[in-house]
């Protein structure tokens, strides 16, 4: 049953082929058996999961079940979960048990989904390889020498390794799409404001967005039906009707206009990755889509602008971790300053500290205009690029990541190279647009992802476009040998 999608599992549960308790138990056993190899979970909530599964079974029996009732899911450890440890991949929160549920978590609870556990991630979602986690690196199920991508590396790995049917991720600069690509799964970063950020530990508030990670676009649609919507606890969430994302999945792609930004196929893109992406584009042509070359001339500004805006916001967002009220506190502080310095110095890892320092610097008196204001202007230019492009095309396609998964340890000491692995994903965060990654091939045994970017609130179209591709290809259905 671990090779079934959510859609299939939901049917089986409804038909009584097996119970949610049996299904949950099966996943817990797989986690027990396999997770030692990939380190994808930080916390496994076996007791809570089985209790929730039992409840779900009662609902299924009573005929009050929804599509997600009884479906086991893994949640990124960035979402606060009432009574269950929420670490955000950091020593700082190793002892933190949230007294409340994130809105995303409560939506899944209301839908009857079962939470298997909390997935590993880069510390405070800062990283592209899942190597900055306090809980150790996650390994790519397709190749244990490779990284799974990040920051939602655990969430991508659990889906690829069949240690959960699907999971949630968050994406600030590519943290859903890049690991989805590197692990050969499907991941959607919705429009900024589409999914509530309440209870999702903030990295960069103006960029963070939660989304689904699953094997298929169809499963992502089913999860989006539960995740999306206005939340009066999040002032940046948008009051706009949520469509049923599953009903438009089968629309024809005839006449679909696809834009290929020439900047996404330029220097820095691996040839084999380019080949896989081009093959996917050809497949779309066969489905009736029209392809035009477009230009996003300010693409080169996105990485530098991002590495001003994101650290600036994070330097402020992470100030609350001060050793005073919750989280890590150093031993025997001799005074207040010592308490701050050592609690933060000992509680945060190197990448987090690097970004806090960069952020504090770009916001400081005398540098604010040169960095922060300029980055905001770059952000405007990037948004305008997309606006012009979407006057001509329906979706934009390109590679999700310039390369397939790199080796563990390969880039961790070279932050600039690491940052460039998000070169194609960052711009959509800066513009607030939705983006999706679908598996579209392999280089050796490592997967390649195709990125599809849509206009604001066009998630239904992205899912439709991805689903149609998955009806004609089987990249998404493949499983890494060791985890079949």
Partner 1 sequence: MQWEVVIGLEIHAQLATKSKIFSAASTAYGAAPNSQACAVDLGLPGVLPVFNKEALRMAVKFGLANGCDITRRSVFARKNYFYPDLPKGYQISQMDHPIVAKGELEIELEDGSTKIIGITRAHLEEDAGKSLHEDFHGMTGIDLNRAGTPLLEIVSEPDMRSAKEAVAYMKKIHSLVQYLEICDGNMQEGSFRCDANVSIRPKGQQEYGTRAELKNINSFRFVERAINVEVERQIDVLEGGAKVVQETRLYDADKNETRSMRSKEEAFDYRYFPDPDLLPVEIDDAYIEAIRATLPELPDAKKMRFIDEYNLKAEDANTLTSDRGLADFFEAVVKTGGDTKLSANWVISELLGALNKGSMGLAESPVTAEMLGDMIKRIKDNTISGKIAKQVFAAMWEDEGDADAIIEAKGLKQVTDSGAIEKIVDEVLANNPAQVEQYRGGNEKILGFFVGQVMKASQGKANPGQVNQLLSAKLKD
**285 is a catalytic site residue:** no
Distances in whole angstroms, Cα of residue 386 to Cα of each of 27, 238, 282, 483: 41, 20, 23, 40
Residue 302 · residue 386 · CB < 8 Å: no
Among 79, 348, 386, 390, binds partner 1 (CB under 8 A): 79
Q: Which of 52, 56, 88, 260 binds partner 1 (CB under 8 A)?
A: 88
Contact of 85 with 120, CB cutoff 8 Å? no
Which position among 232, 282, 338, 414 is part of the footprint of partner 1 (CB under 8 A)?
232
Structure-token pair, residue 113: 């989904």
Number of neighbouring beta carbons within 10 Å of residue 10: 22
Does residue 365 bind partner 1 (CB under 8 A)? yes
400 torsion bin: left (phi>0), alpha (psi -120 to 50), beta (else): alpha
Cα–Cα distance for residue pair 196/221, rounded to 1 Å: 17
Q: How far is the CB of 353 from partner 1 (least distance, A)?
A: 15
Mask for 191-220, x = binds partner 1 (CB under 8 A): ------xxxxxx-xxx--------------
Output 31 or 88, the one with its CB closest to partner 1.
Answer: 88
One-character DSSP codes across 367-383: THIIIIIHHHHHHHHHH
Q: Which of 144, 247, 336, 477 binds partner 1 (CB under 8 A)?
A: 336
Cβ atoms within 10 Å, residue 281 = 16
| Strand, coil or helix: 463 | helix
Q: Is 302 part of the annotated catalytic residue set? A: no
Catalytic residue among 106, 151, 167, 401: 151
Q: Pick from 1, 58, 279, 363: which binds partner 1 (CB under 8 A)?
A: 363
What distance in Å separates the CA atoms of residue 269 and residue 264, rounded to the nearest whole number? 8
Contact 175, 89 (CB under 8 A): no
Task: Find the part of the chain contacting partner 1 (CB under 8 A) among 14-22, 169-177, 229-237, 414-422.
Answer: 229-237
User: Is 129 labeled as catalytic in the residue annotation?
Assistant: no
Q: List strand residue ranges (DSSP E) for 309-445, in order.
A: 395-399, 435-443
**Is residue 171 close enough to count as binding partner 1 by CB under 8 A?**
no
Q: Which one, 37 or 383, has the nearer CB to partner 1? A: 383
Distance, CA of 260 to CA of 390 (rounded, Å): 12
Nearer to partner 1, 19 or 315 (CB): 315
Is 235 a binding residue for partner 1 by CB under 8 A? The answer is yes
Contact between 106 and partner 1 per CB under 8 A:
no
What is the contact mask toward partner 1 in residues 308 to 327, using x (rule: CB under 8 A)? ----xx-xx-xxxxx-xxxx
Question: Residue 101 or residue 219: which is nearer to partner 1 going by CB?
Answer: 101
Q: Which residue blocks in 111-191 are alpha helix, DSSP H?
A: 153-160, 177-183
Give the residues lining the site for partner 1 (CB under 8 A): 79-80, 86, 88, 93, 96, 98-100, 102, 197-202, 204-206, 232-236, 312-313, 315-316, 318-322, 324-327, 336, 340, 360, 363-365, 368, 372
Task: State the catalytic residues.
Answer: 76, 151, 175
């Amino acid at each position: 049953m671990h090779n079934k999608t959510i859609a299939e599992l939901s049917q089986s549960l409804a038909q009584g082929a097996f119970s949610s308790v049996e299904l949950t138990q099966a996943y817990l056993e797989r986690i027990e058996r396999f997770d030692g190899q990939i380190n994808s979970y930080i916390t496994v909530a076996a007791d809570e999961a089985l209790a929730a599964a039992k409840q779900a079974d009662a609902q299924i029996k009573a005929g009050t079940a929804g599509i997600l009732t009884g479906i086991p899911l893994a949640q990124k450890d960035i979402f606060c979960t009432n009574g269950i440890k929420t670490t955000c991949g950091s020593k700082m929160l190793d002892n933190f048990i949230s007294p409340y549920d994130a809105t995303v978590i409560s939506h899944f609870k209301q839908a009857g989904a079962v939470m298997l556990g909390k997935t590993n991630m880069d510390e405070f979602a800062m990283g592209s390889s899942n190597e900055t986690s306090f809980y150790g690196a996650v390994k790519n199920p397709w190749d244990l020498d490779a990284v799974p991508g990040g920051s939602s590396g655990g969430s991508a790995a659990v889906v690829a390794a069949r240690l959960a049917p699907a999971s949630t991720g968050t994406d600030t600069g590519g943290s859903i799409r890049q690991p989805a690509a590197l692990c050969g799964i499907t991941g959607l970063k919705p429009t900024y404001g589409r999914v509530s950020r309440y209870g999702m530990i903030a990295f960069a508030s103006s960029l963070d967005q939660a989304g689904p990670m699953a094997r298929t676009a169809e499963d992502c649609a089913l999860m989006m039906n539960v995740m999306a919507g206005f939340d009066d606890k999040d002032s940046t969430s948008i009051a706009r009707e949520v469509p049923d994302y599953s009903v438009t999945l089968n629309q024809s792609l005839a006449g679909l206009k696809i834009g290929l930004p020439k900047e996404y196929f330029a220097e820095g893109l691996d040839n084999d990755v380019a080949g896989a992406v081009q093959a996917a584009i050809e497949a779309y042509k066969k489905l009736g889509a029209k392809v035009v070359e477009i230009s996003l001339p300010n693409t080169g500004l996105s990485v530098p602008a991002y590495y001003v805006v994101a650290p600036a916001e994070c330097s402020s967002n992470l100030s609350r971790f001060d050793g005073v009220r919750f989280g890590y506190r150093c031993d025997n502080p001799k005074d207040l300053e010592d308490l701050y310095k050592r609690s933060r110095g000992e509680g945060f890892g190197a990448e987090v500290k690097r970004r806090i320092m960069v952020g504090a610097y770009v916001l400081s008196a005398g540098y604010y205009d040169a960095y922060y204001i300029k980055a905001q202007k770059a952000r405007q230019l990037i948004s305008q690029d997309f606006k012009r492009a979407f006057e001509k095309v329906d979706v934009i396609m390109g590679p999700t990541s310039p390369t397939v998964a790199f080796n563990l340890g390969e880039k961790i000491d070279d932050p600039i190279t690491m940052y460039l692995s998000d070169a194609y994903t960052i711009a959509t965060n800066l513009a607030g647009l939705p983006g999706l990654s679908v598996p579209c091939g392999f280089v050796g045994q490592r997967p390649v992802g195709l990125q599809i970017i849509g206009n604001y609130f066009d998630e239904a179209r992205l899912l439709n476009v991805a689903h149609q591709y998955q009806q004609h290809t089987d990249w998404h259905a493949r499983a890494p040998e060791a985890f079949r």
